[in-house]
Amino acid sequence: MAMAPSPSLVQVYTSPVAVAVWEWQDGLGTWHPYSATVCSFIEQQFVQQKGQRFGLGSLAHSIPLGQADPSLAPYIIDLPSWTQFRQDTGTMRAVRRHLFPQHSAPGRGVVWEWLSDDGSWTAYEASVCDYLEQQVARGNQLVDLAPLGYNYTVNYTTHTQTNKTSSFCRSVRRQAGPPYPVTTIIAPPGHTGVACSCHQCLSGSRTGPVSGRYRHSMTNLPAYPAPQHPPHRTASVFGTHQAFAPYNKPSLSGARSAPRLNTTNPWGAAPPSLGSQPVYRSSLSHLGPQHLPPGSSTSGAVDCIICMEKLSAASGYSDVTDCKAIGPLAVGRLTKCSHAFHLLCLLAMYCNGNKDGSLQCPSCKTIYGEKTGTQPQGKMEVLRFQMSLPGHEDCGTILIVYSIPHGIQGPEHPNPGKPFTARGFPRQCYLPDNAQGRKVLELLKVAWKRRLIFTVGTSSTTGETDTVVWNEIHHKTEMDRNVTGHGYPDPNYLQNVLAELAAQGVTEDCLEQQ
């Protein structure tokens, strides 16, 4: 079985170059590496167009694989969508680019393969090949692939793969061939870390990787995620925080009453009248909103950051609602954070959300009620094993496996009734099996139950719409390297992910309530 890595194998990969492996995904979600020769051709084309992306052009071209291997003549890779397209059948497959250190198995041209039912040899995905090579180098003759999400063991002595459930065996072999291509890690101008276009890194910024830090090592992470700016709304800056109007003006013809929150009253106490505006208690009695009197410091020159109008003026949403219970000048203040907004604006914000009984202050992100998300149905599994993570050599490792199938979007999703895709599942994520890692695990379980880990949207990596993407809670998807910033060591990760969970309303208080 796997042993803890020796110190010589636990190191941060800081070289400006890496080994690139391109892989395609079959219909069962398994990744298959292209040959080293084909990868060299793809990488050469990619590097040229990647440079254009951060320069004068964009990733607007396709890569014909037949130029590298005549047997692949029907296939092209479309870079803007990160898909492999078969021209004679129209079949589309997801592709990905995986970076490895130069001393890794792909860097040395080592490929592990298993014997399929038709007698042909099929290569394991590159990360499995590298993991097998590491374990064999450490003297482990029996390697469990559970840390990578597979239900198999590989016996190096007998060269067999065994299904741990059915005990079915297959032959495996180790092949040495040409090394996979060495490439330069490209970062966009002004970016000091390693470049990345994954949805985890771009979820907080539509304009590219976060600058000023080494990707997921978020030393200066704020207490809540930075708001995103739709192109049609203006934003103004107050100090270090951004005020913004995040919502389209919806049709609120059906929004005739204020939401009923599923927790204690977030509003101030007894509501006085606001000038000539009457207080409509029929629908707000449950909330008991505190209307701010005219002439108060808050209701004067301060903007409502939802509609960007003055609090002393009518709500910017008063022209799109026929709600009779709330006047256009009605203003309320949230009790915990004391931020004030037009009540119609808060109603618009609520009606554009999940309508789950929770409300999140658009200014400081304080959550009232229990926030839930739009994560599709799936399964979260947890395993433990003894191998240590780099930077956490004093404990074992927790493996989280998320599984979400393709499905149909519900009413809470962007396009109800339309199919959504779930690329790259099952997804494996890693935590150190120490006190803080276990706390993060329990909070992630809460976030999973509240449907906050994933959502349905547009992938920042591939541009694909109506697909399952990460939802602003970063996960470590690589175990033993930090080439792309998705692995270990990362001394700031656990503290940062706790802050991200708290920004979603998932804190230690949630564990005490269970």
Q: What's the pLDDT at 18?
A: 83
- 196 within a domain of the structure (yes/no): no
Q: What's the pLDDT at 275?
A: 31
| Residue 507: exposure state from Cβ atoms within 10 A (0-12, 13-18, ≥19) | middle
Q: What's the pLDDT at 16?
A: 60
- 84 within a domain of the structure (yes/no): yes
- Whether 127 and 424 have beta carbons less than 8 Å apart is answered as no
Q: What's the pLDDT at 328?
A: 84
- 238 within a domain of the structure (yes/no): no
- Whether 498 and 474 have beta carbons less than 8 Å apart is answered as no
Q: For the CA atoms of the chain, what is the radius of gyration?
A: 26
**414 and 456, same domain (yes or no):** yes
**Residue 370: other Cβ atoms inside 10 A:** 17
**310 and 420, same domain (yes or no):** no
Taken as a whole, the chain contains a residue count of 514
- The CATH number linked to 439 is 3.30.390.130
Prior bond to 362 cis, omega within 30?
A: no
- 452 within a domain of the structure (yes/no): yes
- 233 within a domain of the structure (yes/no): no
Domain boundary among 349, 369, 389: 369
Nearest to 299 by CA among 289, 313, 318: 313
**360 and 466, same domain (yes or no):** no
Q: What's the pLDDT at 322?
A: 64
Domain boundary among 133, 149, 182: 182
Say which amino acid occupies 424: G
Strand partners, 407: 420
Q: What's the pLDDT at 407?
A: 93
Q: Which residue has the tokens 């393969």?
A: 113
Strand partners, 507: none
- The CATH number linked to 151 is 3.30.720.50
- 496 within a domain of the structure (yes/no): yes
**395 and 339, same domain (yes or no):** no
**436 and 317, same domain (yes or no):** no
Chain-centroid distance of CA 48 in Å reads 27
- Whether 306 and 246 have beta carbons less than 8 Å apart is answered as yes
- Whether 187 and 175 have beta carbons less than 8 Å apart is answered as no
**416 and 494, same domain (yes or no):** yes
Q: Where are the alpha helices (DSSP H) in 178-276?
A: 199-202
Residue 152, C-beta contacts closer than 8 angstroms, at least 6 positions apart: 145, 161, 162, 163, 164
User: Under DSSP, is residue 324 helix (H, G, I), strand (E, B) or coil?
Assistant: coil
**440 and 345, same domain (yes or no):** no
Q: What's the pLDDT at 204?
A: 45
Domain boundary among 149, 182, 215: 182
User: Under DSSP, is residue 335 helix (H, G, I), strand (E, B) or coil?
Assistant: coil
Number of domains the chain is built from: 3
**353 and 461, same domain (yes or no):** no
Q: Are strands 241-244 and 331-333 parallel, antiparallel or unpaired?
A: unpaired
Gap between the Cα atoms of 101 and 99, Å rounded = 7
DSSP 439: H
**Could you tell me where the beta strands, DSSP code E, fall in 309-421?**
331-333, 340-342, 359-360, 367-368, 379-385, 397-403, 407-408, 419-420
Gap between the Cα atoms of 490 and 213, Å rounded = 12
User: Under DSSP, is residue 340 helix (H, G, I), strand (E, B) or coil?
Assistant: strand
**171 and 63, same domain (yes or no):** yes
**356 and 455, same domain (yes or no):** no
Q: What's the pLDDT at 371?
A: 84
**Residue 92: other Cβ atoms inside 10 A:** 12
**47 and 178, same domain (yes or no):** yes
Nearest to 245 by CA among 346, 320, 161: 346
Q: One digit per residue, pLDDT tens: the chain, 514 residues?
A: 333 333 222 233 345 678 999 999 988 888 899 999 999 999 998 888 765 543 333 444 788 999 999 899 889 998 877 889 888 787 888 898 888 888 899 999 999 999 998 899 999 999 999 999 999 999 999 999 987 778 899 999 999 999 999 999 999 999 999 999 998 754 333 333 334 445 566 444 332 322 222 333 322 223 323 333 333 333 222 222 222 223 333 333 333 344 444 434 444 433 332 233 333 332 333 333 444 444 444 444 678 878 888 888 888 877 766 677 788 888 888 888 888 888 888 888 877 766 767 777 887 777 787 788 999 999 999 988 888 898 999 999 999 999 999 999 999 899 999 999 988 888 889 999 999 999 999 999 999 999 999 999 988 767 788 999 998 899 998 876 666 678 888 889 999 999 999 988 898 888 877 6
- Whether 93 and 31 have beta carbons less than 8 Å apart is answered as no
- Whether 327 and 282 have beta carbons less than 8 Å apart is answered as no
Query: Which contacts (CB < 8 Å, 24+ apart) does range 309-314 have?
Result: 309/342, 311/340, 311/341, 311/342, 314/342
Q: What's the pLDDT at 79?
A: 80
- Structural domain boundaries enclosing 72: 18-52+59-182
Q: What's the pLDDT at 297?
A: 46
Type and span of the H or E element at 468: strand 467-470
**397 and 500, same domain (yes or no):** yes
